[in-house]
Amino acid sequence: MLEEKIEKIKEDALAEIAAVESLAELNDLRIKFLGRKSEFTNILKSLKDLTEQERKIVGQIANATKIEVESVLAAKEKELKEKSFDFAAEKIDVTMPAKKLQRGHLHPLTKIQNELEDIFTSMGFEIADGPEVETEFYNFDALNIPKNHPARDKWDTFWLKNNKQQTTDDLPTGQAGKQQERILLRTHTSPVQIRFMQTHTPPFRIIAPGKCFRNEATDATHEHSFYQFEALMVGDDVNVGNFKFIAQEFFSKFFKKEINVRLRPSYFPFTEPSFEFDISCTVCGGEGCPSCKGGGWLEVGGAGMVNQAVFEAAGYPRGKYQGFAWGFGLERLLMMRNKINDIRLFHSGDKRFTDQF
Ligand code: FA5
């Protein structure tokens, strides 16, 4: 009798599955014929009450029926899915513009620093580095700017508390026995000159890009933290002509046009003679235009022949070597090239600004 019941369930199931037209109806039939509360499941539960021999026969029939109904359900499901697939809606338009990916990029100052490093290394310069927290010796004394000298006023300094217990070994060469060294945030990249010379013998040519700090009020052309770019070339007979040539080469490469360099007398304690150097206006080439306020020249930085007192502080014999040094601000150079009117934009964190580079 159970066999007949199973046969009847199978017939009904196959007939109803064949007639079904939607996936939802098909699912209802799955529950109706094979679900937990279905007649078929009840029959399976009652198998335990049969004799062993009966259970074997009916069990086999029930199993075969379940497999058959499940496979018919699966075939019907596949057929209905294919029928309901909306090819028009699933079409991919390969001509549609793609979503723009937001990608990070280097900060404009990092980019200009890389660019400058590439130009200088192509001219045989090495890259040197020094600490941002400096000692008074490297930032001032060794650069011929002694304590209480009025020249120190040029560099408004952030002095730091020095809590380190110092031994005389910590003091720079020739300073043993002096009182605890005062520390500060370096006001320029020139201390790197001394650090490099202490460990190298001329001839050499180096650049030292890096961050500097000055305790001064900010405005459109002044920041308390900014980047400088130092260059130093030392040998037996390095002269001002070498400086002028290298500067002209560098600026012509940087601005991608021929640039002239002009020197004006100036004063820095660590160079003698000292210059302020200007480049021919990058817009009018020197004729005079609104960009250069009619003068034809743009002020770029400071330079000069290394003072022999500086060589001496670095451990070289006085008079043995000649060299030139220069320093200029990275932000100001980029402002000049890209017509940026406020230095404070660089550290503003404003993506509308940085995304333009
Ligand atoms: C110096 O700092 C010298 N160490 C440069 C030097 C090196 C001269 C080697 C001779 C030989 P000065 O204070 O002028 O010089 O600064 C050099 C450049 O740093 C300036 O021309 C300017 O471009 C930049 N700079 C100085 N102060 C600021 C500031 N507050 N904000 C932004 N840029 C600054």
Task: Indicate the burial class of 63 (C-beta count within 10 angstroms; 0-12, 13-18, 19 or more).
Answer: exposed
Domain contains 152: yes
Whether residue 42 is found in the same domain as residue 173: no
Last residue of a domain, one of 54, 88, 122: 88
CA distances (Å), origin 269, targets 149, 154, 207 = 10, 11, 20
Residue 353: name the closest of 328, 338, 254 by CA. 338
Residue 69: name the closest of 29, 22, 120, 126 by CA. 29
User: Global pTM?
Assistant: 0.72
Taking only the tens place, the pLDDT of each residue in 237-271 is 999 999 999 999 999 999 999 999 999 999 999 99
- Specify the pLDDT at position 166: 56
pLDDT tier at 217, thresholds 50, 70, 90: very high
Contacts of 194 (CB under 8 A, 6+ apart): 138, 142, 143, 310, 313, 314
Write down the mean pLDDT value for the chain.
Answer: 90
Last residue of a domain, one of 19, 54, 88: 88
Taking only the tens place, the pLDDT of each residue in 161-173 is 887 655 555 555 5
Query: Of the residues 230, 332, 337, which should be mutated to test ligand 1's pocket, given the most ligand atoms within 8 Å of the CB?
Result: 332
Whether residue 169 is found in the same domain as residue 290: yes
Domain contains 210: yes
Residue with tokens 């560098």: 250
229 lines ligand 1 (CB under 6 A): no
Query: Of the residues 154, 188, 216, 346, which should be mutated to test ligand 1's pocket, given the most ligand atoms within 8 Å of the CB?
Result: 188
Domain contains 283: yes
- Specify the pLDDT at position 192: 98
Residue 187 has pLDDT above 80, yes or no: yes
327 lines ligand 1 (CB under 6 A): yes
Whether residue 135 is found in the same domain as residue 78: no
Whether residue 204 is found in the same domain as residue 307: yes
Whether residue 244 is found in the same domain as residue 152: yes
Two structure tokens written together for 18:
């064949």
Task: Kindly give the distance from the C-alpha atom of residue 319 to the centroid of ligand 1, in angstroms, as a whole number.
Answer: 27
- Specify the pLDDT at position 86: 80
Per-residue DSSP letter, 219: B
Q: Whose CA is nearest to atom 30 of ligand 1?
A: 222
Whether residue 237 is found in the same domain as residue 125: yes
Between β-strands 183-185 and 133-135, what pairing exists: parallel, antiparallel or unpaired?
Answer: antiparallel
- Specify the pLDDT at position 88: 80
CATH number at residue 316: 3.30.930.10
Domain hosting 310: range is 108-354
Whether residue 209 is found in the same domain as residue 299: yes
Contacts of 161 (CB under 8 A, 6+ apart): none
Residue 153 has pLDDT above 90, yes or no: no
Taking only the tens place, the pLDDT of each residue in 301-356 is 999 999 999 999 999 999 999 999 999 999 999 998 998 989 999 999 999 999 89
Per-residue pLDDT, averaged over 210-232, amounts to 95
Whether residue 313 is found in the same domain as residue 171: yes
Taking only the tens place, the pLDDT of each residue in 284-302 is 888 888 878 888 888 899 9
- Specify the pLDDT at position 165: 56
Whether residue 143 is found in the same domain as residue 248: yes
Domain contains 94: no
Domain contains 186: yes
Domain contains 98: no
Q: Residue type at 144? A: N
Task: Kindly give the distance from the C-alpha atom of residue 187 to the centroid of ligand 1, in angstroms, as a whole number.
Answer: 9
Task: Kindly give the distance from the C-alpha atom of residue 278 to the centroid of ligand 1, in angstroms, as a whole number.
Answer: 13
216 lines ligand 1 (CB under 6 A): yes
323 lines ligand 1 (CB under 6 A): no
Q: Residue type at 106? A: L
Taking only the tens place, the pLDDT of each residue in 43-94 is 888 888 888 888 898 889 999 999 999 999 999 999 888 888 888 888 888 8
Per-residue pLDDT, averaged over 93-107, amounts to 88
228 lines ligand 1 (CB under 6 A): yes
Q: List helix spans (H) across the chain.
A: 2-19, 23-34, 39-46, 52-84, 108-122, 136-139, 191-199, 240-255, 308-313, 330-338, 351-354
Reply yes or no: is the peptide bond before residue 203 cis, omega within 30 of 0. yes
Last residue of a domain, one of 53, 88, 123: 88
- Count of structural domains, the chain: 2
Whether residue 18 is found in the same domain as residue 166: no
Whether residue 66 is found in the same domain as residue 183: no
30 lines ligand 1 (CB under 6 A): no
Whether residue 309 is found in the same domain as residue 201: yes
Domain contains 226: yes
Query: Of the residues 138, 143, 226, which should be mutated to test ligand 1's pocket, given the most ligand atoms within 8 Å of the CB?
Result: 226
pLDDT tier at 177, thresholds 50, 70, 90: very low
Domain contains 100: no
Give one DSSP letter per residue of 102-169, joined into a string.
------HHHHHHHHHHHHHHHTTPEE----SEEEHHHHTGGGT--TT-GGGGGS---EE---S---GG
